[in-house]
Amino acid sequence: MKRRTLLASAAMGLMLASGAFAQGMDKVKACFVYVGPIGDGGWTYQHHQGALAVQEAYGDKVEIQYQENVPEGADAERVLTQMALGGCNIIFTTSFGYMDATNAVAAKFPDVKFEHATGFKREHPNVSTYNARFYEGRAVQGTIAGRMTKSNKIGYIASFPIPEVIMGINSYYLHARKVNPDVQLSVVWAFTWFDPAKEADAAKALIDQGVDVIASHTDSTAPLAEAAKTNGAVIGFGQASDMAEYKDGPRVSSIIDNWAPYYVKRVGQLLDGTYEQIDAWEGIAGGEVLIGEITDKVPADVKAEAEALREAIAAGTYHPFTGPINKQDGSPWLAEGQTAPDGDLLGMSFYVEGITGDIPK
């Protein structure tokens, strides 16, 4: 354990030098670890927008550092250690794959704050986790999809079978079925987060088989571009970023990952000394999940219905997973009026009743 003490003492030295104690700080160095390039137009791009918002909000009082394309595992651990050694006061690790690395490095640098996105492990007091309730946005999308489909076939391009994705599929389907009991959902698993050509092929496959509303959980705009080739017959949604360039085409709305409020808040708390360990899971109410403008392609009554749903979720009067809901095999999950506990959602590994097909296991 010599390395640990060596690192800890190095960190200690830095900490003493910068006088970083709980009473708030004059200047914060905020660092970000990205899984992709900031030019990916989706996931990492949105996190970087959040980082830029922090810079904007505090000007000279913060210094921003970031590292793109950091693989999970050993590389993440090294980048995090380098950042901590290099004087970062707070480090945001923006992919679930960094979970163990974040906690491992946090153990060695008790005075650096670590913020891990979309994970659940907080093994040390200096690790917080944050996530966004994207399924709330999926509920709004599902409502629009159920109302807008003419073929009663809606589609979903999924990446990998993980709870985050399954949660989105279920929410999308439940709300589509709520407004349109005849709706059928087709899910395509692309087995990739990012492969524009394959995503386009997946969208094409859905379209060729009569699907006319497509949602996606992969990172590129390719599915929208494919939908655009149908001259208005097929609509879709922006994913992660607004994808406003398709507003005059198939994009009728979007889910925008808006990390800025959280990043600004947390760095601000570090500056004024009110920072505490938290497990944040904000959604529409907290401004982390934004519903991009619903375009005029959507009839006014459907738009009003979708917006009402958004407002109800924001106000906390409606939870997208409210019983009665059965699992795919017919066994009961939520009883009448019961809302889904967060634990069930975070570990979700089943489809709800009505969805056909299997989750890859």
Partner 1 sequence: MDWGGINPVILIATLMASAVPILLAALGETVVERAGVLNLGVEGMMVIGALGGFIVAVQTGSPVVGFIGGAVCGAALSLIFALLTQVFLANQVATGLALTLFGLGVSSLGGQGYNGVKPPPTGKLFPQALADLPVVGPIVFGHDWVVYFSIAMTAVLWWVLKATRVGLIIRAVGESHEAAHALGYKVNRIRLMCIAFGGAMAGMGGAYVSLARVPQWVDGITAGAGWIALAIVVFASWKPWRVLIGAYLFGGITVLQLNLQVAGSGIPVEYLSMAPYLITILVLVIISAGRKANGAPASLGQNFHASR
Partner 2 sequence: MLRLEKRPTPSRFWLYATPPVAVILTMVAGGILFAAMGKNPFEVIRTIFWDPVFGEFAFYLRGQLLVKAGPLILIAIGLALGFRAGIWNIGAEGQYIMGAIFGASVGLAVFPTENRLIFPVMVVAGAFGGWLWAMIPAILKTRFNTNEILVSLMLVYVAETILAKASTGFLKNPEGMGFPGSRNFSSYPAAANPELIAGTGLHWGGVAAFVTAILAYVLLTRHQTGFQIRLAGQAPRAARFHGVSPARLVVMCMGLSGAMAGMAGLFEVTGPAGQISIDFNTGYGFTAIIVAFLGRLNPLGIVLAGFLMALTYVGGEMASTNLGLPDAAIQVFQGMLLFFLLAVDVLTNYRFRLAVGAH
Residues making contact with partner 2 (CB under 8 A): 1-3, 6-7, 10, 31, 37-38, 65-69, 71-75, 77-79, 81-83, 85-86, 96-97, 99-101, 104, 119-120, 160-163, 191, 343, 346-349, 360-361
Is residue 225 near partner 1 by the rule CB under 8 A?
Answer: yes
Residues in the chain: 361
Is residue 197 near partner 1 by the rule CB under 8 A?
Answer: yes
Nearer residue to partner 2 within complex by CB, 40 or 226: 40
Q: Which does 71 bind (CB under 5 to 8 A by kind): partner 2, partner 1, none?
A: partner 2
Q: Which does 225 bind (CB under 5 to 8 A by kind): partner 1, partner 2, none?
A: partner 1
Is residue 356 near partner 1 by the rule CB under 8 A?
Answer: yes
Measuring CA to CA, which residue among 189, 188, 197 is closest to residue 154? 188
Q: Give the pair of three-digit tokens for residue 191.
A: 């087995």
Q: Give the pair of three-digit tokens for residue 250.
A: 């198939």
Nearer residue to partner 2 within complex by CB, 79 or 234: 79
In the block, tokens 């992660």 appear at 240
Q: Which does 97 bind (CB under 5 to 8 A by kind): partner 1, partner 2, none?
A: partner 2
Is residue 200 near partner 1 by the rule CB under 8 A?
Answer: yes
Nearer residue to partner 1 within complex by CB, 40 or 115: 40
Q: How far apart are CA 206 and CA 195, in angstroms?
A: 17
Residues 143 and 121 sit within 8 Å (Cβ to Cβ): no
What letter represents residue 102's amino acid?
T
Number of neighbouring beta carbons within 10 Å of residue 47: 27
Cite the DSSP H helix spans in the chain. 2-18, 43-58, 74-85, 99-108, 134-148, 163-179, 196-208, 222-228, 260-272, 300-315, 342-346
Is residue 328 near partner 1 by the rule CB under 8 A?
Answer: no
Question: For the stretch 317-340, what's the b/e string if a residue is b when 16 or more beta carbons lie within 10 angstroms of its beta carbon?
Answer: ebbbbeeebeebeeeebbeeeeeb
CB of 16 to partner 2, least distance (A): 16
13 class by beta-carbon count within 10 Å (0-12 exposed, 13-18 middle, 19+ buried): exposed
Q: Which does 136 bind (CB under 5 to 8 A by kind): partner 2, partner 1, none?
A: none
Is residue 187 near partner 1 by the rule CB under 8 A?
Answer: yes
CB of 306 to partner 1, least distance (A): 24
Q: How does DSSP classify residue 22? A: T
Given candidates 194, 259, 275, 351, which one binds partner 1 under the rule CB under 8 A?
194
Is residue 39 near partner 1 by the rule CB under 8 A?
Answer: yes
Q: Which residues bind partner 1 (CB under 8 A)?
A: 36-37, 39-41, 45, 155, 186-189, 191-192, 194-202, 204-206, 208-209, 211, 220-222, 225, 228, 243-245, 356-358, 360
